[in-house]
Amino acid sequence: MSPTCPRRTASPSVAGRALPPVGVFALQGDVREHVAVLRALGADVREVRTPAQLAEVAGLVIPGGESSVMDKLSRIFGLRDPLRHRIAEGMPVYGTCAGLIMLADRLHDGIAGQATFGGLDVAVRRNAFGNQLDSFETDLDVAVLGEQPVHAVFIRAPVVDEVGPKVEVLAALDDGRIVAVEQGRLMGTSFHPEVAGESRFHRRFLDHVTAAS
Ligand code: GLN
């Protein structure tokens, strides 16, 4: 993707406002897809790999990928502690799949020694659908996003096993398993809207950034 040609189509939520730059955690994962969705919504998007780059953004999307690798790379690049600090300060963050895992305060079925950034008072189970149902797609009702269902793509996805009292459940599967949550300005989904042409979660994230700045 050319960094020189941001598409600045106005969206109702960001049109006419000077939205501060937002970042996509870019040490690992499907960074490009999130950058494209955010740019299409009119956001000034930066890839974040260093503490200096993190300091420039007012909100962060953590993509899908492999959470154990994100954990290791964030330590190597010195991003883990500054990012934990920003989350604690209230920076809006949206995590998809591995990104949701990274936002969870508690992790089930992590690899030995795996840690998260934390922030969301939830327990998340990695690879919760096992090998049989490794990846699948379904339509989900997400009331906060309106009547149109969300087409959700799950790829070796986690589920939310437990939620704390301040966590709002945004979506669950028919069997009750929780797959989208929000707590203040932190939001996480087990699935990948960014690969399904779905931009309403990203728009909601940008609304959180606007509200926080
Ligand atoms: N299974 C991956 C993990 O543990 C997440 C998969 C994804 O992000 N699509 O991090």
Q: What is the pLDDT along the chain (213 residues), one digit of tens a residue?
A: 444 444 444 444 455 557 999 999 999 999 999 999 999 999 999 999 999 999 999 999 999 999 999 999 999 999 999 999 999 999 999 999 999 999 999 999 999 999 999 999 999 999 998 865 689 999 999 999 999 999 999 999 999 999 999 999 999 999 999 999 999 999 999 999 999 999 999 999 999 999 999
Q: Calculate how far, in angstroms, residue 73's C-alpha sits from the geometric centre of ligand 1.
A: 15
pLDDT recorded at residue 5: 40
Q: What is the pLDDT of residue 1?
A: 40
Catalytic sites, residue numbers: 97, 192, 194
Nearest CA residue ID for atom 5, ligand 1: 98
Ligand 1: centre distance to CA 63 (Å): 9
Quick one: which of 172, 96, 157 has its CA closest to 127? 157
Shortest-distance atom of ligand 1 to CA 64 = 8
Distance (Å) from CA 209 to ligand 1 centroid:
25
Question: In this predicted structure, what is the pLDDT of residue 125?
Answer: 97
Q: What pLDDT score was predicted for residue 17?
A: 58
**Which residue CA neighbors atom 3 of ligand 1 most closely?**
66
Angle value at C-alpha 136, between 133 and 142, nearest 5 degrees: 125
Nearest by Cα to 182 from 173, 171, 174: 171
Reference 71, options 54, 84, 58; nearest CA is 84
Provide the sign of the torsion angle of the four alpha carbons 179, 13, 33, 26, taken in this order: negative
Q: What is the pTM of this model?
A: 0.91
Residues having CB within 6 Å of any atom of ligand 1 = 64-67, 97-98, 101, 126-127, 155-156
Residue 122 sits at φ, ψ, to 5 deg, of -140, 160
What pLDDT shows up at residue 54? 98
Q: Give residues with Cβ within 8 angstroms of 140, minimum separation 6.
A: 149, 150, 152, 171, 173, 179, 180, 191
The Cα 210–Cα 16 span in angstroms is 12
CATH class (in words) of the domain with range 18-212: alpha beta
Q: Tell me, what's the pLDDT at 108?
A: 97
* Domain residue spans of the chain: 18-212
AA letter at 154: F
